[in-house]
Structure 1
Amino acid sequence: MLIGLAGLFCVLVNSCHTLPPPVAPVPSPIRPAPTSGALVEVAAKVRARIGPSRSGLLSVPGNREALDYRLALIDSARSTLDIRIFFWMKDLTGRVLLERVLQAADRGVRVRLLLDDLVLGLTFTDKELAMIHTHPCVEVRIYNPFFVRGRLPAHVLEMMIKPAETNQRMHNKSIIADQSLAIISGRNVGDHCFGLGRRYNLIDLGVMVSGPVVGEICAGFDRYWESEPSYDVAAFYPHRTDLGLDPWRAKSKAQIIRKNRKLGNRIPIGKQDWSHVLTKLASRMHAGHARFVEDAPEVPSPSRPVIDASLRLAAMARKDLILVTPYIVPDQRMMDLIAKVRMRGVRVRLLLPSIGSNNHLVVHNQYQKYRKMLLRRGVEIYEFKHRPGQSALRYLNEATRPARKVGLHSKAVVVDTRFCYIGSLNFDGRAMFVNTEEGLIIDSPSLVRDLRHDVETLMQPENTWRLTLSRQGDYLWTSAGKVRKREPTLSLFQSVLESVLRPFSLCSAIFPDQQLFLGFDPSHRDAM
């Protein structure tokens, strides 16, 4: 089989551009933190209120608020914007955010974009990224680029043939503005990430931060930016300055206006005055201690501090532990941890997508193998519905015409009433052992109170199926008085597809526990 794959890979190599020789990354010129500006003022107000030793923290579960805060950081930046993301779609939201980033660069803001290469073959071409890179205030780098450029099928084949070199992807997601405020999140950039997808939308989670922890996040970005796997996109189009950025931007703006009109002008197109939002932000942020954790950028990453820190945090639970994740395939260490905290009488709740709202069916197949073990250990399992009730829809910010499906993409560990983790980490094999991840370990009772409220709202019967076992050991799905004995799939087509894809879960030797897009439901295409 590998010989055949290698042959197909060679054909693709001959028909595509390939990676030029590696060039050692050059550190960006150091820019001192600005001493004035709207974002600096917000950070100063928060520091004056909570003190210099603690960080300001605000959980951001709603899609509308998440988009507004990103636009506010970009529009208000005066000095620097550092953005690290797993994928950036070229849809309405992706185009709007990119254009606003370029407008910030037009104002003289230094912009650094660090993008993972896996999905770039479906979004931006190397030429487009090189065009963006020609802006005098913009630098673009690609993390762990594939040898064959620009085609996702070739990327998948390359991961199968050279897993040690290419399987590790940068799953981190963060934005830092003026070294003053930052967002750490599970959100990528795309319409479905902010409730504007036509067929599929996600509920997600992030946290806005100010104070001492922002310095840790800045240092983490610099580590990745200057690491060997981060590849300067200029190498793909060397000595070219005539790539046509201005005409490309003009064409993109026309598409933005047209697409935004179809959605009832849901997104503000031009630069906005966000002073009202930032004023409220300064008063809303909670005080707390936060520690930034991230996996090392080297390939392969030598350690796994994010999953290690998250599990250590979970082990601290004394009364209540909530795990929120889109994907879970627990390893022995996680199963042992759950057994230990349950023996202490800790209530353990797990919130994750149902099969109807999951966009990776192969991962769901693998999770199915562990459900009975989790239930028999006393874990309460809540599976999120593909069309939840009104209490969950308020987080969505959906367009006038709701999408057919809603998914859960939040990642959090909530420990008792004081501690939590928020970040990019899933609880499947790719996240725990392959990809790089990041997040915040937070000690803040007031923030955790808000986070628990949001999570428990999503767990309400109108939003989830509570999974239990009958006396005979059969599964029961219960919601608002309704009981089902068969898994509540989205459709007959999904049931058939799930059965067809089930054998692919055996591929975990190649792709540990999450099978890239092998388990991707075509009806969830907006979620890519």
Structure 2
Amino acid sequence: MPTAAVSSNSPSNSPPASPTAPSRPVSLSRQHSTGLRWLGVLLLGCWLGGCASLPSEVERPLSRALENPSETYLGQRVEARAAQAKTGNDSGFALVGNAELAFTSRMTLIKAAQKTLDLQYYAIFADDTTERLFEALREAANRGVRIRILLDDFNTSGKNAQVLKLAFEKNFELRLFNPLPGGRGSMFFRVLGNLKDVGRMQRRMHNKIFVADNAVAITGGRNLGEPYFGQSEGINFVDIDVLAAGRIARDLSRSFDQYWNNPLAYPVQSLMTARDIEALKSQPPAATANSSSLEDPAVLASATQPATSPANTSTTAVSALPDSTNLRLLSWTWASSVMLTDKPSKIAADADTADESQDTTVDGLLQLMSQAQTELLIVSPYFVPGKRMMQQFADLRQRGVRIRVLTNSLASNDVPAAHVGYARYREALLAMGVDMYEMRAEQKGSISNFGLAAGSTGGSSGGSRASLHAKVVVVDSHWLVVGSMNLDLRSQLKNSETAIVIRKRALAAEATRMIEPALASGAWHVELVDGQLVWRAPQDSGREDSRKEPDASLGLKLMLRLIAPFAPDEML
């Protein structure tokens, strides 16, 4: 079992489009004028960034997770279920590969909570789906439930800034982690105004934790918003969460408390007023564009990417999602487990000069992977191995360990710039015998669910495209890891992450059964034939094999070639 970053008592949306060139020739004087205007914009952004700063005197009242979960209905149900299981393990798990279940399980926990709800997320997007969650949270607050929301600050501009209004409602507390100084009217100007501090802007809190009454928790890859629950008309993310009950939920709560009480967590009231947030509603559409496809601030490395922000679905479509589910009917498995989590200091301004011996979530995962004897199954939407991981893969292959990796294709990647880093290692991975699979953007049936047959319901509208977002590793059909981390240098070096390592063959097998249909019929199998890349078409897809990046436009391919020489792996 990995020892890195352990806390246990038992055995990364599309960036805003950059300014486009005029569609027809212009005079030299007009070109000169346009250039001056953009120079002025850059200077203004730098000036604004230089003037803006974070408050120095901030009150952060100390608070902790619920001390005695057994006082609550959820706590009592967990204790009863543990006693009934008679396994001796103190933590129970249920996998969630279905977008609808991901939504209803959160709604169910909100409605069942009696004392506390703690939410920690990289991104919460303001849309119809999250508004339903917010209404349920308000009902919980009205019956006396204390609600703490800890949100990374990167995506809290434009329309999404409206989420911050919850900070001013009864029984809500909302803090922003590692906030950026400056206005929130537009993601473009926000990034521009902070270019003087790119290093800090690149360090983000990427953890995803949802805990009810310190008894039952949800963690995994999903943020909160329509694309994560199969309701977007643009991109829908294929993801896997895990419901966790018992001791492991309390471990997740302790991690939440570490971040919540950290000096990098700023109460919203210390940064803006309710009137400030309300005023953002009046911004023009260009300033409030939805940035919901930004998984990580790789925007700096892909500023020329065409915008592909998903359009909001109708309220009717969103309201089709059920309000709750009976969690007792899920297949709960009791197993030994350990939590891997990064310390908040990983995000600190001086993190680059801090003690590099500090183990991270990804370090712990790599340690577990290095112990594989027979097989590794890896699912990572943004896959940039780096030299250390490549050496580890080479060592495993020399020992005869089979390695299968599912990642995004260029067409399915919601941050195409991340594909640049992956492409640098693709041929070397294939040469050493790693089986590489790339998710198709167009899927049959429900494109937002793992483990469902083609034509099944519960997904999104036919016009949507799929983007892989799950972060899962299965080791030797015995160990299962589900978390927020990608297997890339951003997760390893820049972002804070959380994961759960579960030792149970039944759960590892269940996760494998969810993933393998995607390998067989939902992904391109990439091979190296006579030194050339070949994408083998999925079964029954009606497609032919390809020797070029399938389904990706020529413009996108050219853009990535331009980016490639200037984009370091750790920023992708």
- Where on the TM-score scale, by shorter chain, does this alignment land: which range? 0.7 to 0.9
**What secondary structure is seen at the aligned counterpart in 2 of 1:141?**
strand
1:154 CA drift (Å): 3.3
Aligned twin of 1:113? 149
Mapped to 2, the partners of 1:187 and 1:385 lie a distance apart of 19
The 3-state SS of whatever aligns with 1:98 is helix
1:267 aligned to 321, 328, 331, which one? 321
Pairing of 1:403-442 with structure 2 (within 5 A)? 403-442=463-502
Task: Say how many residue pairs are matched.
Answer: 485
Alpha carbons of 1:489 and 1:18: their partners in 2 closer, same or farther (altered >3 Å)?
farther
SS at 2:564 equivalent: helix
Change (3 A) 1:100 1:259: farther
Match in the other structure for 2:298: none
Q: Deviations over 1:256-291 (max 9, x none)?
A: xx96643173134xxx5x5x613213xx21121111
Aligned counterpart, 1:20: 55
Query: Alignment partner of 1:459: what SS?
Result: helix
What CA distance in whole angstroms lies between the structure 2 residues aligned with 1:400 and 1:330?
Answer: 31
Whole-Å separation in 1 of the counterparts to 2:524 and 2:127: 32
Aligned to 1:57: 93
Q: Distance in 2 between the 1:97 and 1:243 partners? A: 20
What is the deviation of 1:226?
0.3
Q: Could you tell which deviates more after superposition, 159-168 or 210-219?
A: 159-168
Contact 1:114 1:225 (8 Å CA) reproduced: yes
Partner SS for 2:70: coil
Mapped partners of 1:308, 1:478: distance in 2:
33
Report if the CA contact (8 A) 2:99-2:459 is conserved.
no
Q: 1:291 aligns with which of 338, 356, 361?
A: 338
d(CA) in 2 for partners of 1:408, 1:416? 23
> Which letter maps to 2:173?
E
Alignment of 1:370-389 (within 5 A): 370-389=425-444
**Aligned partner (choices 523, 528, 539) of residue 464 of structure 1:** 523
Distance 1:292 1:29, change over 3 A: closer
Find out whether 1:157 has 2:215 as its counterpart.
Answer: no
Q: Is residue 359 of structure 1 aligned with residue 414 of structure 2?
A: yes
Listed as ranges, the gaps of 5+ residues in structure 2 are: 1-38, 279-311
Aligned-partner Cα distance in 2 for 1:373–1:242: 51
Partner of 1:86: 122
Pick closer, same or farther for the CA change 1:285–1:100 going to 2, 3 Å: same
Which range moved further: 374-383 or 497-506?
Answer: 497-506
Q: Bigger CA drift: 386-395 or 344-353?
A: 386-395
Who is 2:374 aligned against? 319
Q: How does 1:55-204 map to 2 (within 5 A)?
A: 55-125=91-161, 128=162, 131-150=165-184, 151-204=186-239
The answer to whether the Cα contact below 8 Å between 1:129 and 1:233 also exists between their aligned partners in 2 is: no
- Are the structure 2 counterparts of residues 403 and 19 from structure 1 closer, same or farther at C-alpha, using a change threshold of 3 Å? farther
Match for residue 487 of structure 1?
548
8 A contact 2:100–2:459 mirrored in 1: no
Equivalent position of 2:506 in the other structure: 446
TM-score, with normalisation over the residues of structure 2?
0.79
Change in CA separation of 1:414 and 1:473 when aligned onto 2, cut-off 3 Å: same
Which moved further from structure 2: 317-326 or 42-51? Answer: 42-51
Taking a change above 3 Å as real, the CA distance of residues 22 and 455 of structure 1, as seen in their structure-2 partners, is farther
Q: Which residue of 2 aligns with 1:40?
A: 75
The alignment partner of 1:498 has SS state of: helix
Which deviations, in whole Å up to 9, do the C-alpha atoms of 1:178-210 show, x marking residues without a partner? 010000110011111111101211110111111
| Matched letter for residue 296 of structure 1 | K
Task: Tell me how far apart the structure 2 counterparts of residues 178 and 44 of structure 1 sit (CA, whole Å).
Answer: 13
- Partner secondary structure for residue 161 of structure 1: helix
How far apart are 1:88 and its partner, in Å? 0.6
Task: Describe the superposition over 1:324-344 as per-residue Cα deviations: whole angstroms up to 9, x where unpaired.
Answer: 000111111100110111111
Is the 8 Å Cα contact of residues 46 and 194 (structure 2) preserved in structure 1?
no
Residue number in structure 2 paired with 1:517: none
Q: Any idea what SS the aligned residue of 2:567 has?
A: helix
- Two-structure CA RMSD over aligned residues (Å): 2.8
Cα drift, residue 437 of structure 1: 0.8
Q: Where in structure 1 are there 5+ consecutive unaligned residues? A: 245-257, 515-528
Give the structure 2 partner of residue 247 of structure 1. Answer: none
Q: Is the 8 A contact 2:229 2:448 kept in 1?
A: no
Amino acid at match of 1:469: L
Deviation at 1:148, TM superposition (A): 1.0
User: For 2:157, what is the secondary structure of its paired residue?
Assistant: helix
* Separation of aligned partners in 2, 1:32 and 1:13: 42
Q: Against the structure 1 CA distance between its residues 182 and 24, is the aligned structure 2 distance closer, same or farther, given a 3 Å change threshold?
A: same
Determine whether 1:508 maps to 2:567: yes
- 1:57-89 CA-to-partner distances (Å, cap 9, x unmatched) read 111111111111111111111100000001111
- Residues 159 and 376 of structure 1: CA distance in aligned 2, closer, same or farther (over 3 Å): farther
What is the CA–CA distance in structure 2 between the aligned matches of 1:242 and 1:87, rounded to whole Å? 20
Change (3 A) 1:9 1:25: same
In structure 1, the residue matched to 2:284 is none
- Distance 1:361-1:243 versus aligned 2 partners, 3 A rule: closer
Q: TM-score scaled to structure 1, two decimals?
A: 0.85
Determine if contact 1:159/1:167 at 8 Å carries over to the other structure. no
SS at match of 2:249: helix
Q: 1:338 to 1:97 in 2, by over 3 A?
A: same
Matched to 1:147, the amino acid is P
CA deviations 1:31-77 (Å, max 9, x no partner) are 43343444224312321133554310111111111111111111111
Q: Which structure 1 residue ranges, 4+ long, deviate > 6 Å from structure 2?
A: 3-6, 240-244
The alpha carbon displacement at 1:399 in A equals 5.7
Q: 1:132-155 CA distances to partner (integer Å, 9 max, x unpaired)?
A: 222231100000000113132233
Which residue identity lines up with residue 236 of structure 2 in the other structure?
N
Alpha-carbon contact 1:361-1:498 (below 8 Å) kept: no
Q: Deviations over 1:433-487 (max 9, x none)?
A: 1011111111111111100111112111x211110011x2111111238543333
Which AA in structure 2 matches 1:426?
N
Change (3 A) 1:164 1:261: closer
Residue in 2 aligned with 1:518? none
Q: Secondary structure at the match of 1:420?
A: strand
Structure 2 CA distance for partners of 1:130 and 1:57, relative to 1, 3 Å: closer
Distance 1:264 1:212 in 2: 34
Aligned to 1:474: 532
Secondary structure, counterpart of 1:350 in structure 2: strand
Equivalent residue, structure 1, for 2:327: 278
Do 2:230 and 2:448's aligned partners in 1 also have CA atoms closer than 8 Å?
Answer: no
| Identity %, equivalent residues | 28
Q: CA deviation at 1:314?
A: 0.9
